[in-house]
Structure formats: C-alpha cells, structure tokens
Structure 1
Amino acid sequence: MIYRIRYHPLVARDLDAIAHWILDYAGPDAAARKLAEIEAAVATLKTTPHKGSLRDEIAPGVRAIPVGRKAVIAFVVEDEAAEVLIYAITYGGADWAMRSSSRSR
C-alpha cells in the first residue's frame, strides 16, 4: 500500500528555517543537498510508514526518524486513511519533541 504524505501547516516554516540556517554557515549548495536529503527521507514513508521510533510519551502515535546526522522527522501514521502526517522537521538539535507535542493537539 502507498501512503499519502500530509504536512502540518508549520512544517513549511521548519524547512525554511533549516534552509536559512544551513545557507548562512555552509552556502546554497549544502542547503539544497540537505533539503533534498530530507525530501527523500519523507518520500520513503510512502511505502514504509511504520519505521522509526514510536514515541507515545510525546504524543499518541508519534514516530521519529533521523535524517543524516542532524535532522529529525516527527510524524504520525494514520493507517485507516493510508496517510502519514508530518508534524515537524528539525535540524541541529532543535527540540522536535516539543514541536511535535504542541502540533499534535
């Protein structure tokens, strides 16, 4: 089964912040590579949505997967709807757990 990917409305802000942060210290090529790496990791959730660590203590059903060495994708799998809802994408030690918890309400 192929799952549809949906994004919390604030994920666009997450990605913009990541791009600007990397752009400032490593340049546009590095920022583009990191965003492509994140995009590729999100795409894998279409076919393997139940991977990652289940973190019910943060919010019911929340899972997290690392991307590279510094990014984390936090999401929930909705099997009945065949959807993966991306709650947060963080980078460089940002508090993905807090963002996920506040966005899951």
Structure 2
Amino acid sequence: MTTPNELRLLPWSGPDGKPCYLSTDDSGGYVSRLADNIEAVQLGMAADLVEQVSAVLGDRDADSEDLRCMLAELTGALRDVLRVASSRGHILAVCDPHSTALLR
C-alpha cells in the first residue's frame, strides 16, 4: 500500500464527477497501464483538435455553431490535458522532491 502522497490521479472521473485515484506500488499493473494508454489517447486527441480548431478559425465561412462546437470540444480536451498534467506533475514531485517548485 502506498502513502497518500503517492496516489495517482486517474484520467477518468468517478460517479458524480469526482476524481479517481490509484494506490499501488506497481506502476506496470493493469490499471496503471490502462491509465497510461488513456492519457496517451487524450493527449493525441487534443493535438488533433488543435489542428481542427486552426482550420475552423481560418475558415471565414465558419458560423457561430461551428465555433461553439469547437469551444465545447476544446473545453473537454483542455480538461483532460490538465488532468494528465496534474497527475504527471504529482508523479514528478513524488519521484524528485526538487521538482515541487514547478507545481507552485
């Protein structure tokens, strides 16, 4: 069992939108690998979305509905990326105590 400082924030929410955490010493376990894969997919989707948004912003014929849709997708992607960054920042802080300055 790990200490509370070593909990990993998972890239999905639980019931009621509350964060989920993983407590394990095994970074190669099934749930850890699943979380790594989901984070990779989320980051890849965010990168693809940046390209799509650039295309829509460059389209003078894009209407407010197109822009509203892009904003909704960007909001979701940003939420996912922030969760990954928060989780990875926590992992870095646990692994390297000198990296906590990055989290302030």
Structure with the greater alpha carbon radius of gyration: 2
Greater helix percent: which structure? 2
Greater strand percent: which structure? 1
- Do the structures match in fold with TM over 0.5? no
> Which TM-score tier does this pair reach, normalised by the shorter chain?
0.3 to 0.5
